[in-house]
A and B are shown apart, each in its own frame.
Chain A
Amino acid sequence: DTAVSQTPKYLVTQMGNDKSIKCEQNLGHDTMYWYKQDSKKFLKIMFSYNNKELIINETVPNRFSPKSPDKAHLNLHINSLELGDSAVYFCASSPSRSSNEQFFGPGTRLTVL
């Protein structure tokens, strides 16, 4: 049983394209997150939603837009992809916005050519 799933696992695309990454959790959690892990493995939060409401929005280019259709899903849409967007993107969830543990998905490796 997959707790936090992401699709696709790998994404290779050209500069300037628009792409989306989907995330779903079947844990019944209220809070979901997007993280970016760069080539040096540095992990940084991008966004967090709690019950479909945006609660964390770090300094991220406007080209990145999260969308939460319901509390089990948090998708990430990226417009006008740039070389520097190449990274592994992780989705995570936690029972609530004050919970201690965050459960991470397997990651989506985005390569922009």
Chain B
Amino acid sequence: QQQVKQSPQSLIVQKGGISIINCAYENTAFDYFPWYQQFPGKGPALLIAIRPDVSEKKEGRFTISFNKSAKQFSLHIMDSQPGDSATYFCAARTGGGNKLTFGTGTQLKVEL
């Protein structure tokens, strides 16, 4: 059972464009929604995160939009750069042990 669904599986964006990755969840007990960035051969690293009582969070070129009623959230990368090329994972946390459930990942490639 995939509790966090992520799309698209892969994404190609031109330099300077906007990258958008979408996630949907089912479990209303999730209380924290992070996005992790993973470069080849490396472990995932926290990029940005949001709590369900906030509809949007922006950090530099990265923005999370959160729609609690629809149980959906998305990552927007503005002015995408080749250095942003990586795999992005959305996740959702259930409390009591800090258990993260990850989406299936989106491989982003930003072309010149």
Chain A interface residues (CB < 8 Å from chain B): 4, 31, 40-45, 48, 50, 55-56, 90, 92, 94, 96-107
Contact = CB atoms under 8 A, between A and B. Distances in A.
Contacts, number: 59
Could you say which of B34, B44, B98, B107 has the most chain A C-beta atoms within 10 Å of its C-beta? B98
A42 B38 CA distance: 12
Nearest to B94: A56
Contacts of B34: 100-101
Given A40-B104, A42-B102, A48-B98, A105 B46 contact: no
Contact of B99 (A45, A96, A100, A103): A45
A90 B42 CA distance: 10
A104 B79 CA distance: 27
A65 B105 CA distance: 27
20 contacts: A4-B43, A31-B98, A42-B105, A43-B44, A45-B101, A48-B97, A55-B97, A94-B98, A96-B98, A97-B97, A98-B95, A99-B98, A100-B32, A100-B49, A100-B93, A101-B49, A102-B46, A104-B44, A104-B45, A105-B43
